[in-house]
A and B are shown apart, each in its own frame.
Chain A
Amino acid sequence: MLLIRCPYCGERPETEFHCGGEAHIARPDTPADISDADWGSFLYTRTNPKGLHAERWLHAHGCGRWFNALRDTVSDAFVTTYEMGTPRPDPISETAKA
């Protein structure tokens, strides 16, 4: 079973987690003031990369906290996980570490 490192609980089985889609997408402050195209892009347009992807994950059957993860979409390897509100780590140095 794939182990995911929760920033609060450490390594735990993947069945305890839920993925919440791409991370670091800021909701527009005033949705009424932006164009339909920009709003549609906020709602639906995602980067969908082949390689490193920053995602939101929820430790649902654990501490109940959301956190972010850098996952490689090709190998399914979790390169690192980090707390919500902290910036995306530098992927090159993290890859070198992993």
Chain B
Amino acid sequence: MQGLDLEYMLGLVPVILGYVPLTLGMAAAAMVLALVLAALLAVERVFRVAWLDWAVVLFISFFRGTPLLVQLFLFYYGLPQVLSVLTSIDGVTAAIMGLTLHFSAYMAETIRAAILGVDRSQWEAAQSIGMTQSQMMRRIILPQAARVAAPTLVNYFIDMIKGTSLAFTLGVTEMMGAAQKEAAGSFLYFEAFLVVALIYWAMVELLSQGQAWLETQLNKAYAR
């Protein structure tokens, strides 16, 4: 076995790092959209709006029940054949859409469980003072549920960051794509992909630190 070409790797690091903003940007956009969508889905699941409930159940079941890669291919390569409005969709947008829909299904279940975990007394107190349902959810229930759900939601964000590498398969030149191109010239595939792996690992480690900090903050909240 040959030794690692460390010099090549070091030279590659700044190149790949240049794509980190794209990766984080896709993940952040998808995270924000997925949070909003997931909160709506979760609230629907808690209140079971008659005609909507079966559609939400179906949505969650489908996006949890099929692989992300398959979903991305469906959106990017499949749907434009059926829906002509989607023909102009680019890989980055398709990846963000796919990540949003996929992860919102998981996050909806997390948020739903957190909502149902809020003590009954909190619902009753809110009702007793004459709050409307939306006031009760926005001001009392969701903030308390968010506190419980936050660490799990950060886990999904981490999965999402890793999931952006699949945008490569939609022709997006992100970290993987860049490494692939570099390696095609140098034939140092192992080195190139190792750099990608190390950069992902470093990002996730940093986030895990942030997650631990967040958890201690959340445990301290409401205790003073």
A and B interact physically: no
Residues of A within 8 A of B (CB): none
